[in-house]
Structure 1
Amino acid sequence: MTGRFLIDDVTPAVNCGRYPAKAVVGELVPVGARAFAEGHAALGCQLVVLGPDGEQRALTRMVPGPPGTDTWQAQLRPDEVGEWRFAIEAFLDPYLQWRDAVSKKVDAGQGPAELANDLAEGVQILGRAAVGVPTPSALRVRRAATALRDEARPLPERLAPALALAELLWQWPVRELVTRSDEYAIVVDRPRALFSAWYELFPRSEGAVADEAGRPLRHGTFTTAAQRLPAVAAMGFDVVYLPPIHPIGRVARKGRNNALTAEDGDVGSPWAIGAAEGGHDAIHPELGTRAEFEQFLARAQELGMEVALDLALQCAPDHPWVTDHPEWFTTRPDGSIAYAENPPKKYQDIYPLNFDNDPAGIRAEILRVVRYWIGLGVRIFRVDNPHTKPVDFWHWLIAEVKRDAPDVLFLAEAFTRPAIMHGLARVGFSQSYTYFTWRTSAAELRDYCQELVAAADYMRPNFWPNTPDILPEHLQHGGPSMFKVRAVLASLLSPAWGMYAGYELFEHVARPGAEEYLDNEKYQLRPRDWAAAEAAGESLAPFLTRLNTIRREQPALHWLRNLRFHESDNEAVLCWSKRDPETGGVVLVACSLDPRHEQWANLTLDMPELGMQGHETFTVRDELTGASYRWGQRSTVRLDPWEEPAHVFTVHRP
């Protein structure tokens, strides 16, 4: 900071500006600061916005916050991907100070003689102002100065034209003693970094045939998996996430249900990467060729979707890196290479990388691998267990990738301690898995979502009700209604959400004593008869389609910062709203958390958050059922899990 005044508490500033904040194209980003001048001097503040090319894109007058706080607020809306920068400029505003002083003196009864110096000062200030305003307004300012000099006019007429310049000279102020803060960075991504709907599928299971024990009779391919894409697109998903598609190790391969020893024909875990056919830059031969993978990418694009590829930085024992670069791993005292462990779990089929043995070599190779897949058309990576790798490595890798390909996105799959999850977001991850899966009560959901909103400057949550690793207890025992409840919560609380294939079929059978699926698809093929389930009315696909349609049609649901909760007198009913900052459109949701019983709740709405005053009434239309109701600040809802466990209202004012 250079200049006369103190400017501090600038936001958004991640770790005091050490890391860039985050936004997406078109997002309204709130900017704030604290600044003041001594005594009764009139201070002004402006937000200076610089685009990725370093050129000034906006100079916006900031409005003061609540009286007595010396805070200033503004918004910026980036319109291009890249690194933007902003600074705050504080300055003395002589016109504002003059206008305030003269108005008070006139109100106190002072006349022209007593105000002679004030009138002369006004003429001087307006002379400077005429130079800075747009040319069409300069004549108006000069005429106001002429009026101030005209002693033949009554005092009110001399002053009126100058006092009427308040709005013009707010936008085009005269500035003295300008002080400029440090510059702060904002990395701006494409909108999909914030708003997206993910669908995870295993290509090897699509079109596959297995016997009753799960042994493969026919392996799925990219070609057969592409036949599933139209149904995924029809449900409204726009990102198809694939687990690792690389050759799977044969040494220490795991069997079905994570059995320590594989039987003949067992396909192994895709996360045990690498075999004689190649490593992280190779494709599993049974999935198809590079050309067939590119055809899969192209088909997804035709349907309005893109493919997210898993980036799992670990190796099977027979990965080429193990032979070519043994220094990239940890060697134990007996000479063996250490495999992955998360006691009491053991992963004998996976060797973790040791990033400290040859950091330069490992970094160069991983960057090469990522750029290889980018070259094939991949623009999103879901990163497996990033919290088990050095944070500074991710900071470096993401920056290197984005330098040449700023549209590439990275999702952090890190179910770990909060500090690490937030740290990974700060250093550059575009999206983050969250604890949503385990937040079940109204209080837990409110508190956690408010924590995420508070971190919106750098952390973008992606809510998943299930993953191949996680089948939470509430889905094991809650029945179809709970699957609806969790889909409503995930898709309408967060602008980004995702689900693992099989969710729409209510798959819920767990391995005894664990929060994971029995006959886990990580270790075997799981072909599903999608058509038969839908024909029998045993699929959640129509409900998911409606949710994703509502998400796309309602701009309010595209953002995170606008999430607000409303009072419910029943803790089994969660109520929240989102209001679009541009159109003012509102989505209001009341969702039961009870999958078995009818619930009633009296709601008290925070009317200003809906853009209304407390006495107003309005119409709500349930976008799930089509029913409409007349509501006010206090209303009552009934939620029946056997009908619909949630109301998803759009709000319509008279």
Structure 2
Amino acid sequence: MTGRADLRLGISDVAPVVSCGSFSARAVVGEHLPITATVFREGHDAVAANVVWTAPGEDDAKSPFVRMAKLPPEPDRWIAGVVPDREGRWTFRIEAWSDPLETWKHAVEVKVEAGQGAEELANDLEEGARLLDRVAADADPDWRDRVTAAAAALRDEAQELTVRIAPALAAGLQKYLREHPVRELVTRSQEYEIWVDRREALYGSWYEFFPRSEGPVVGGKPTHGTFATAADRLPAIADMGFDIVYLPPIHPIGTVNRKGPNSSQFPGGNPHEIGPDDVGSPWAIGSAEGGHDAVHPQLGTMADFRAFVARTRELGMEIALDFALQAAPDHPWVEAHPEWFTTKPDGTIAYAENPPKKYQDIYPVNFDNDPEGFYAECLRVVRVWIEAGVKIFRVDNPHTKPLNFWHWLIWEVKKTDPDVLFLAEAFTRPAMMHQLARIGFTQSYTYFTWRTERDELEDYGRELATNSHYMRPNFFVNTPDILHESLQFGGPPMFKIRAVLAAMMSPTWGVYSGFELFEHVAVKPGSEEYLDSEKYSLRPRDWEAAEASGRSLAPYLRRLNGIRRAHPALQQLRTLRFHSVDNPNLLCFSKTDPGSQDAVIVVVNLSSHNAQIGTTSLDLPTLGLDWHERFGVTDEITGAHYDWGQFNYLELDPYREPAHVFAVSLPRPVQFPPPVA
């Protein structure tokens, strides 16, 4: 037999729980976290439940009493809301118990309504008085006299029945009794863990750029940028409202088999000949100049990098650094630790392949030949960059490395640096993507780039919201590897559409530089690779000229990020809800901020070429409203005001404005958790 046969009352389907409790669920500081469970018992006596919610380093005795409420429409489903106030490993468990006070109250009300008198209720009245005596024994001084008086009234045979029971059933006393119940047959679930990260684990706006492309153009030719020249770009990134500056690898780049422009193989036609413009791929890490713990000499020194990090912080942002576990053929690891790689029968080391693609400039690592040595080296490298000021790592292709390695590395880091975050760049099968999140990755790249139709977006949004207790998405609209066909052929309106979808649907989103300049040309038909990809070439851009001429999306991105900062609702994932529209080219969704009056409704035209009209059918209870209520909305993009209800006509022309982002004037805070049914 399996399971717990000692459970006196029924407790099942506890959430949030990851893999039956094998891994920690996830939340962030200040987030409203719903805890739910199915609680039931035999017979007709009332059952109730509470959550024991315990902070890191504390014991159950200090945990406040968090009573659970019924969660309609299921009769046995219960919910409570908690809000963690610090980082670290929190725990919770469910306590189910027989609720004799509620059983008594229900019985008395039913019997009185049926016309039974004091004589028939004699035992009920005495049982109620005895229950109140138990409450009074531990009651607060301010309430003890009131509870004692209610018990005395139940025993006062000189009074009419309604007078005897009135004090015990008074709303004020009933509220106190709910907060200080009599608990019998207390049954406890197992204990579950919630790892609580800092706020940036859930919410942030990312901007990716290559520092080496920020050098001056001399004589019509680009020159290699440095951390000092790249720092000149930071104020513009901050002005657009981005929080995280993500840098591709900044390490020395291998010279053996270095790729040329557009991933051309063997520059100059010779594996050992490198032309002056062949800067190579930053992901081909390592050369005689150093490896993963070094800075590319053309970018500067470690001191220059620290200054770059400091400047980023001065502007209210922070650095995310790429962590790519692979090596160029001339990486110091190759000579010092050949056992960390795979050797072919002919004695050569295997380079990376994804048939038919070949990456002769990269050696994949073999994690199984010397796990102790290689694991230790990876932890050392991560700590080098943490010491240099990096608290976020974007991990390259984690799905091609062992899961147990990532689980070990992430939690070893968090033992000493719990504020370090890890983003998984794992465009892979769903099972692997989800498991990486379960074992500890803070965020994940997603399939958003390839979700363009309404049904696809709705289904994917629901999936992510449902799994938000362990998987946090990062919606990048483009990457150096991914120029989706919608951007290649959708024109400037599609860039706006994708930016609105990413920035409003996901609390974390990202942009790769060049998006704001509408860069959209692929290297060849059917490819998602950019022409003259920045992965292999310097790509300087004239940012100021583009914005001055009105050919820049930067003001629009600035507005979207400003809206995100102004509305806590848009910083949520759990509250994402979709609403009906009678036009499949229109997508409507909302977000709310539990406990506040902040709500946002977004309607997006998914067609970048044609105007679309439609009528919404809003699910108003998800906004904390009744079906009949009217409310005001303000378009945060255009400033227009409207009076809305359940059904609303709208028209969106992509060449004018492809989306509405409505701030909703709610008459009252959105309740969390929902009230008792």
- Aligned position for 1:197: 205
- Aligned position for 1:99: 105
Q: Tell me the TM-score normalized by structure 2.
A: 0.94
Contact 1:132 1:174 in 2 (8 A): no
- Residues 1:184 and 2:195 are matched in the alignment: no
C-alpha distance in 2, partners of 1:566/1:222? 46
- Residues 1:537 and 2:550 are matched in the alignment: yes
- Aligned position for 1:506: 518
Percent same amino acid among aligned pairs? 62
Contact 1:222 1:287 in 2 (8 A): yes
Contact 2:222 2:538 in 1 (8 A): no
Q: What secondary structure is seen at the aligned counterpart in 2 of 1:16? A: helix
1:107 offset after TM fit, Å? Answer: 2.2
| 2:79 aligned to which of 66, 73, 86 | 73
1:211 offset after TM fit, Å? Answer: 7.2
Please tell me the residue identity of whatever aligns with 2:346: D
- Aligned position for 1:121: 127
Unaligned runs of 5+ in 2: 268-273, 668-677
**1:362-391 CA distances to partner (integer Å, 9 max, x unpaired)?**
111100111111111110000000000001
C-alpha distance in 1, partners of 2:578/2:7? 42
1:149 offset after TM fit, Å? Answer: 2.1
- Aligned position for 1:14: 18
Residues 30-41 of structure 1 aligned to structure 2 (within 5 Å)? 30-41=34-45
- Residues 1:339 and 2:351 are matched in the alignment: yes
Q: What secondary structure is seen at the aligned counterpart in 1 of 2:211? A: coil
1:77 offset after TM fit, Å? Answer: 0.8
- Aligned position for 1:167: 175
Residues 450-529 of structure 1 aligned to structure 2 (within 5 Å)? 450-513=462-525, 514-529=527-542
Contact 2:329 2:361 in 1 (8 A): yes
Please tell me the residue identity of whatever aligns with 1:171: E
- Aligned position for 1:90: 96
Q: What secondary structure is seen at the aligned counterpart in 2 of 1:272? A: coil
Task: Say which is worse superposed, 148-157 or 467-476, in terms of deviation.
Answer: 148-157
C-alpha distance in 1, partners of 2:666/2:83? 27
Please tell me the residue identity of whatever aligns with 2:188: R
Please tell me the residue identity of whatever aligns with 1:110: Q
- Aligned position for 1:4: 8
C-alpha distance in 2, partners of 1:653/1:495? 21
Q: What secondary structure is seen at the aligned counterpart in 1 of 2:65? A: strand
- Aligned position for 2:675: none
Unaligned runs of 5+ in 1: none
Call closer, same or farther: CA 1:196–1:217 in 2, change over 3 Å: closer
Residues 504-653 of structure 1 aligned to structure 2 (within 5 Å)? 504-513=516-525, 514-652=527-665
C-alpha distance in 1, partners of 2:256/2:666? 65
Task: Say which is worse superposed, 378-387 or 72-81, in terms of deviation.
Answer: 72-81
C-alpha distance in 2, partners of 1:130/1:402? 46
- Aligned position for 2:378: 366
- Aligned position for 1:244: 249
C-alpha distance in 1, partners of 2:7/2:58? 22
C-alpha distance in 2, partners of 1:67/1:144? 34
**1:73-92 CA distances to partner (integer Å, 9 max, x unpaired)?**
11111110111110000111
Contact 1:3 1:178 in 2 (8 A): no
Q: What secondary structure is seen at the aligned counterpart in 1 of 2:628? A: coil
Please tell me the residue identity of whatever aligns with 1:53: G
- Aligned position for 2:147: 141
- Aligned position for 1:430: 442
C-alpha distance in 2, partners of 1:527/1:67? 58
1:524 offset after TM fit, Å? Answer: 0.8
- Aligned position for 1:439: 451
C-alpha distance in 2, partners of 1:85/1:446? 32
Please tell me the residue identity of whatever aligns with 1:28: H
C-alpha distance in 2, partners of 1:67/1:440? 33
- Aligned position for 1:277: 289
- Aligned position for 2:229: 224
C-alpha distance in 1, partners of 2:654/2:130? 72
**1:353-412 CA distances to partner (integer Å, 9 max, x unpaired)?**
111111111111100111111111110000000000001111111111111111110000
Q: What secondary structure is seen at the aligned counterpart in 2 of 1:485? A: helix
C-alpha distance in 2, partners of 1:257/1:226? 27
Aligned residues: 651
Call closer, same or farther: CA 1:198–1:217 in 2, change over 3 Å: closer
Please tell me the residue identity of whatever aligns with 1:535: A
C-alpha distance in 1, partners of 2:629/2:306? 55
- Residues 1:112 and 2:99 are matched in the alignment: no
Contact 2:211 2:247 in 1 (8 A): yes
Contact 2:599 2:666 in 1 (8 A): no
C-alpha distance in 1, partners of 2:72/2:639? 42
- Aligned position for 1:356: 368
C-alpha distance in 1, partners of 2:218/2:57? 55
Q: What secondary structure is seen at the aligned counterpart in 1 of 2:194? A: strand
C-alpha distance in 1, partners of 2:299/2:154? 83
C-alpha distance in 1, partners of 2:440/2:216? 38
Please tell me the residue identity of whatever aligns with 1:86: F
C-alpha distance in 1, partners of 2:161/2:643? 55
Q: What secondary structure is seen at the aligned counterpart in 2 of 1:53? A: coil
C-alpha distance in 2, partners of 1:108/1:627? 57
Please tell me the residue identity of whatever aligns with 2:27: A
1:452 offset after TM fit, Å? Answer: 0.8
- Aligned position for 2:32: 28
Q: What secondary structure is seen at the aligned counterpart in 2 of 1:204? A: helix
Q: What secondary structure is seen at the aligned counterpart in 2 of 1:615? A: coil
